[in-house]
Amino acid sequence: MDTARDLYLSATLRRIEARHANLPLMQRAGLAAADFAGELADPRNRPVLILAGPGNNGGDAFVVGSRLRERFFAVHLVFAGDPAALPADAAAAREAFLAGGGSTLGEIPEIDHWGLIVDGIFGIGLRRAPEGRYAEWIATANRLAQRDACPLLALDCPSGLDADSGRRPGPCIAATHTISFIAAKPGLYTGDGPDHGGEIRIASLDLSIDEADGRRVSPADFAERLQPRRRNTHKGSFGSVGILGGGKSMSGAALLAGRAALRLGSGRVYLGLLDPDAPTVDPVQPELMIRRVDTLFQADLQALVCGPGLGHTSEAVQYVEQALKCPLPLVLDADALNILAVDGRLEGNLYNRIAPAILTPHPAEAARLLGSSVREVQDDRIGAAREMAARYASPVALKGCGTVLAASDGRWWINTTGNPGLASAGMGDVLSGLIATLLAQNWSPEQALLGAVHLHGAAADALVAASHGPAGLTASEVIDAARQVFNGWLAGRQR
């Protein structure tokens, strides 16, 4: 088990819990959380507010209350559930808290300044949007943590967040820190999770488990490919990439993909632009070889991107078909995905391909491919990515906060590099160029996808660290930062 990377769905966690029912897991969880709380609490020993819900997450909260009281914290524990309806472990934790001299409150008390707020309302047992009293507690906890600038520690996951999907159906705790028990939950890293979990710590509760459902992407996934360049090489050694796109007035998207491919180290980059009035040279990057679109396939290519700025004309449809039929590793993005979504004839070409294809939809493109809505895609990003990968027999990256990557055999990953600076035009075009470069250099489709997505996010993170974003971050800057980060990886400095 790699606690830093492994992700577990709640059904798997329930099975693991059941297998270890003889162990005092709630005591271990509460103790680990109390240790974390002790690190976070205001050194002036301001009071601690603990919110306990009606299930085992509430039970964890009672254990935290007991442990913190033993350490002489002033604990105010709020519990409004029916004690008789608590699950057995939680009921025992409540009894122990009361037997130790603790008492519970029915509502959040008025206190001038909290030193720490602990959220033990709901964990992986959330069934629906919190409402009524619990919705009010969530809103109040968020407000008080802001007011007092105090840490808000979520037990297991922020209450109101669906731990499997990262969806928040209603009010949700905005934690500054989360301590996730047994293993990390995927919902902390995608969708609304990253806005609500804060800094995440995993408490394994001393269990050794192995059957992870998914993983977070790490450079370890593609480290074997990060080899220094041999000296005795030439431009043919590093692959030729073709970019097919650039319909009427949309050359920019294709240029960005091409520049990204060139600057990540493709030996040659050819652009086939559909717009007859498109420029024949890129003055910013004159190394790009801009061709008439009908001659693009005559070049000796090792990988092809189809889609950036392609448009949706009948000519564009023909070229998508040609791209799908060509024996080159292929990245399908943007309008190529939209065309694939509406033209049922084309789908079969994906299954008959002799070279791999990779799909990189954003949520709206994914909704078109799946015949669903953006809302449905976003409510279950992992499920949507896996469904597309299975249906199109190709690796897929569902872009967005916590990009979800899926292989056609059902494996999935979440990428945790990147930031909101990537929410601007051209970023997807850049990603497609990065993926194609790695494909053209014989990376496997899976490694090319994981490597490029991780790199793309890491480049944006490096720019934000240097105050070039998130506001105003541009795709062109990400290209240059990706080159820098990648060369750092190659040199072994940032692995």
Ligand X SMILES: NC(=O)C1=CN([C@@H]2O[C@H](COP(=O)(O)OP(=O)(O)OC[C@H]3O[C@@H](n4cnc5c(N)ncnc54)[C@H](O)[C@@H]3O)[C@@H](O)[C@H]2O)[C@@H](O)CC1
Residues that bind ligand X (CB under 6 A): 17, 25-26, 29, 53-60, 87, 122-130, 134, 155-156, 181
Q: What's the min distance (Å) between Cβ of 134 and ligand X?
A: 5
Query: Which partner from the list ligand X, K ion, none does 119 bind, CB cut-off 5 to 8 Å by kind?
Result: K ion
Alpha helices in 352-405 (DSSP H): 363-370, 374-379, 381-391
What share of residues in the chain are helix, strand, coil (percent, to 5)?
45, 15, 40
Q: Is 128 exposed, middle or buried (0-12, 13-18, 19+ CB in 10 A)?
A: exposed
Query: How many residues in total does the chain contain?
Result: 495
Q: What's the min distance (Å) between Cβ of 23 and ligand X?
A: 8
Q: What's the min distance (Å) between Cβ of 12 and K ion?
A: 19
Query: Which partner from the list ligand X, K ion, none does 29 bind, CB cut-off 5 to 8 Å by kind?
Result: ligand X
Query: Among candidates 416, 417, 406, which has minimal Cα distance to 478?
Result: 417
Query: Which partner from the list ligand X, K ion, none does 402 bind, CB cut-off 5 to 8 Å by kind?
Result: none
In the block, residue with structure tokens 């990515």:
385
89 sits near K ion (criterion: CB under 5 A):
no
Q: What's the min distance (Å) between Cβ of 27 and ligand X?
A: 8
For the segment 26-65, give every residue that binds K ion (CB under 5 A).
none
Query: Toward K ion, which CB reaches closer, 119 or 446?
Result: 119
203's CB contacts (< 8 A; 6+ apart) are: 28, 29, 32, 33, 36, 179, 180, 181, 182
Query: Which partner from the list K ion, ligand X, none does 124 bind, CB cut-off 5 to 8 Å by kind?
Result: ligand X
DSSP string of 394-425, one letter each residue: S-EEE-STT-EEE-TTS-EEE-----GGG-ST
Helix axes 475-490, 445-465, angle to 10 degrees: 110
Query: Toward ligand X, which CB reaches closer, 93 or 458?
Result: 93
Q: What's the min distance (Å) between Cβ of 182 and ligand X?
A: 6
Is there a cis peptide before residue 445, judged by omega within 30 degrees of 0?
no
10 sits near K ion (criterion: CB under 5 A):
no
Q: What's the min distance (Å) between Cβ of 362 and K ion?
A: 30
Query: Which partner from the list ligand X, K ion, none does 53 bind, CB cut-off 5 to 8 Å by kind?
Result: ligand X
Query: Toward ligand X, which CB reaches closer, 161 or 332?
Result: 161
The count of chain residues that interact with K ion, using the rule CB under 5 A, is 4
* 472 phi-psi bin (left φ>0, alpha ψ -120 to 50, beta other): left
Query: Which partner from the list ligand X, K ion, none does 309 bind, CB cut-off 5 to 8 Å by kind?
Result: none
From residue 104 to residue 133, what is the string marking binding to K ion with x (rule CB under 5 A)? ---------------x--------------
Q: What's the min distance (Å) between Cβ of 436 and ligand X?
A: 42
Query: Toward ligand X, which CB reaches closer, 43 or 106?
Result: 106
End-to-end CA distance of the chain: 20
34's CB contacts (< 8 A; 6+ apart) are: 63, 64, 67, 68, 71
Query: Which partner from the list ligand X, K ion, none does 265 bind, CB cut-off 5 to 8 Å by kind?
Result: none
CA distance 65 to 67: 6
Query: Which partner from the list ligand X, K ion, none does 380 bind, CB cut-off 5 to 8 Å by kind?
Result: none
Q: What's the min distance (Å) between Cβ of 155 and K ion?
A: 5
Q: What's the min distance (Å) between Cβ of 187 and K ion?
A: 12
In the block, residue with structure tokens 């996730």:
180
Query: Toward ligand X, which CB reaches closer, 33 or 340?
Result: 33
Query: Toward ligand X, which CB reaches closer, 29 or 452?
Result: 29
Residue 305 contacts residue 245 (beta carbons within 8 Å): yes
For the segment 130-189, give every residue that binds K ion (CB under 5 A).
154-155, 159
**HSE of 491 in the Cβ direction (CA atoms, 13 Å)?**
8
408 sits near K ion (criterion: CB under 5 A):
no
Amino acid at 78: V
Sheet containing strand 330-332, edge to edge, reads 6-7, 214-216, 412-414, 404-406, 396-398, 357-359, 330-332, 303-306, 240-245, 268-273, 289-292
Binding footprint of K ion on the chain (CB under 5 A): 119, 154-155, 159
